[in-house]
Structure 1
Amino acid sequence: MLRNQDVFVVGAGVNGLSTAIRALEAGFTVTIFAAVFPAIDPCSIQAASFWAGANHISFGETGSLMEELEKETLEVYLELVKKDPEVPVMTRPHFRFLESADHPSLSRREHMANFYSDFRVLDASELPEGMAVGETNLTVCVDVPRYLPYLLERFFALGGYAFRTKTPLASLSSLLTNQRPQLEQISADGSSDPTRVPVFDPAAIINCTGLGARLLEDVLDTAVHPIRGETLIIRAPWVNPSITFHFANGDVSYLIPRQSGDVVVGGTFQVGDTHAENRPETVQGIKERIVRAYPEILPEDKRAARDVRDLDVVAECVGLRPARTGSVRLESGVLDVDGKKVLVVHNYGHGGGGYQSSWGSARRAVELLRTELASTA
């Protein structure tokens, strides 16, 4: 038995919460530290977990680490849907339509056919107007504004603790020194809950900081970069499938339904862009593309006109996907804290694939944690 079962998780997005839950289930005492808790805080550009449209469409290459993480995560989602009626995740058909018969993304077909057992190519009679090629498979759609609170509640129910860092975290190591940021313990609803004073001597730290990994003094990962995305939240409870449209000019539109009846509509991938506000021309483009390709997102009596003014837009959102050149970072290392060696496990860099790889990443991070701690016990 390991003497010290305390683990700190830094970051409270979907990967931080999923990893913290798996660590609790493995028998560790877990404390989360984060500046932002997307489950309970207002939506912000830094909290990409919350504004995201989350479904499961494999990004990984065949045989890659990301593919393994995605497969395991899909299995977990499907099991949750089957066993937990409260989980804000639902299965839906996903359709991918391409305007051009020689679109570059067709190179993904073999991978998708191998990944999804029910994958099939659509007949010409099943294609919407203007589309040359279509494919379909079963996916899961995550209602993000409900799912993150669901994870946080599950974390607290398992006995976890959470602290908001009220001043900037300079480094992972600083949590263990008198240079640590000002902290406020929080409860499941975000209120202050000063019931526990943590002992700042953990067995390990798990780094789920996403874009923050660029700035932490003892990480400084220059491979981490933002991919900006704008989304619209549209009220359209009659929309059932998840759909991605690939246009001949390279533009993309996607729509992802949520249990709430809202639909996330997007399709922008702006590498390195950190502009925090919606750009009117981008918003207009998102509206025009989705109405042209999928007029069914409009109320039935408004579809013939295909007028973007008839969209019931609930919110316009901007977020930064925490991407990493090369691959996700899932590996262990050692921090030197005033001469003491402390295990660190890194779990970040998922880009736009955070939800669809979260449970696989969490299991692997905790597996690394247990293996490394056992080797030094």
Structure 2
Amino acid sequence: MGDTRDDEAVVIGGGVIGLTTAVVLAERGTRVRLWSPQAPHETTSAVAGGLVWPYRIEPQEQALDWSVRSFRHFSWLAEQPGTTGVRLVRGSMPGGSPPPEWTALTGTPPRTPLVDMQTYLPYLVARFEAAGGRWEQRAARSLAEAAAEAPVVVNCAGLGARELVPDPSVRPVRGQVLVVEDPGVEEWYVVATGGASETTYILPQPYGVVLGGTAHDGAEDRRPDPATAEAIVRRCAAVDPRLADAKVLEHRVGLRPFRPRVRLEAGRLPDGRGGTALCVHNYGHGGAGVTVSWGCAVDAVRLVGPATGE
């Protein structure tokens, strides 16, 4: 057990929620250590198509607020010099009926941030480290382990919260996509299908076009299924025939960490020294982790309280 300081925090989880929360904490002056058993490119976030749009997340009203605030930060990132991985791209969503607040942001037809996660996650790591944060490849065996090393613990473990908290209400929603060579796609396309297990989306990224997808509730197999991939290509080629013969570059599978409601709240943990540590939970974002990341991060940091050491 190491010595602790009043201005230290441990963030658990190296996906987009954990990284974004760690950035916000570090940039306000907190000494942050981020624990993750996986490198950022190995997390579920790395599989995300990257369209900033509320999807499979509850509660919807709160999710819209988080999404709107995140949209504004992503739009700012799209205008920054250097490489953030964020672009503003036009697209279409047949059958979709977004709330007026979202339409006011995106316009008609919608123009929304599209995030290249292969570039964006390293950008977040670099921004975190530039603010003095320290990323550690380390699995938290328990919340108490982290509480013994810092007075503030922020739990952004995603699907890992099932065992870590433990929280049996967290469950996986399996998503499978594939990446193909870009035949000239300039706009994104998404069919809004609510809670359907099969969806159709086409997302042009710098490295190729992401074709999707699936949303299989409770499925945990991370191996790509060839039949599912073929069905995805058929659905997408019906929208853009150029995709039928596009060369397949990669198959991807990720497990979205769904919860009936996002858990964003604070509590206390024994610190192993006769006292307690503050624990802020920020997990269960389903398929909208990228979309709500900045709004949730700011709210999680507010629960931490005033910056210490100032």
- TM-score, with structure 1 as normaliser: 0.75
- The corresponding residue for 1:152 is 125
- What secondary structure does 1:359 align onto? helix
1:215 to 159, 163, 184: 163
1:55 to 51, 54, 66: 51
Q: How much has 1:150 moved relative to structure 2?
A: 0.7
- What secondary structure does 2:110 align onto? strand
Give the 4+ runs in structure 1 shifted more than 3 A.
Answer: 59-63, 111-114
Are the aligned partners of 2:147 and 2:277 in contact in 1 as well (CA < 8 Å)? Answer: no
Q: How much has 1:293 moved relative to structure 2?
A: 1.7
Distance of aligned partners of 1:157 and 1:231 in 2 relative to their CA distance in 1, 3 Å threshold: same
1:361 to 287, 296, 299: 296
- The corresponding residue for 2:61 is 64
Paired residue type of 2:67: E
Paired residue type of 1:138: R
Q: How much has 1:119 moved relative to structure 2?
A: 3.9
Query: RMSD between aligned alpha carbons?
Result: 2.2
- Structure 2 gaps of 5+ residues are none
- The corresponding residue for 1:37 is 39
Are the aligned partners of 2:26 and 2:132 in contact in 1 as well (CA < 8 Å)? Answer: yes
**Larger relative contact order, structure 1 or 2 (CA cutoff 8 Å, min sep 6):** 2
- What secondary structure does 2:99 align onto? helix
Q: How much has 1:246 moved relative to structure 2?
A: 5.2
Are the aligned partners of 2:83 and 2:119 in contact in 1 as well (CA < 8 Å)? Answer: no
2:279 to 335, 344, 352: 344
Paired residue type of 2:200: S
Are the aligned partners of 1:61 and 1:67 in contact in 2 as well (CA < 8 Å)? Answer: no
- The corresponding residue for 1:172 is 143
- Structure 1 gaps of 5+ residues are 99-105, 121-135, 178-199, 299-307
Q: How much has 1:204 moved relative to structure 2?
A: 0.3
Are the aligned partners of 1:237 and 1:261 in contact in 2 as well (CA < 8 Å)? Answer: no
Paired residue type of 1:205: V
Q: How much has 1:252 moved relative to structure 2?
A: 1.9
Which is worse superposed, 229-238 or 145-154? 229-238
Identity of aligned residues (%): 33
Paired with 1:162 and 1:246, the residues of 2 have a C-alpha distance of: 37
- The higher radius of gyration belongs to 1
Paired with 2:59 and 2:151, the residues of 1 have a C-alpha distance of: 35
1:319 to 233, 250, 254: 254
Paired residue type of 2:64: E
- What secondary structure does 1:354 align onto? helix
Q: How much has 1:232 moved relative to structure 2?
A: 0.2
1:88 to 70, 85, 89: 85
Paired with 1:155 and 1:343, the residues of 2 have a C-alpha distance of: 21
Are the aligned partners of 2:177 and 2:211 in contact in 1 as well (CA < 8 Å)? Answer: yes
- TM-score, with structure 2 as normaliser: 0.90
1:162 matches 2:135? yes
Count of residues in correspondence between the two structures = 299
Q: How much has 1:237 moved relative to structure 2?
A: 6.1
Are the aligned partners of 2:78 and 2:113 in contact in 1 as well (CA < 8 Å)? Answer: no
Are the aligned partners of 2:146 and 2:153 in contact in 1 as well (CA < 8 Å)? Answer: no
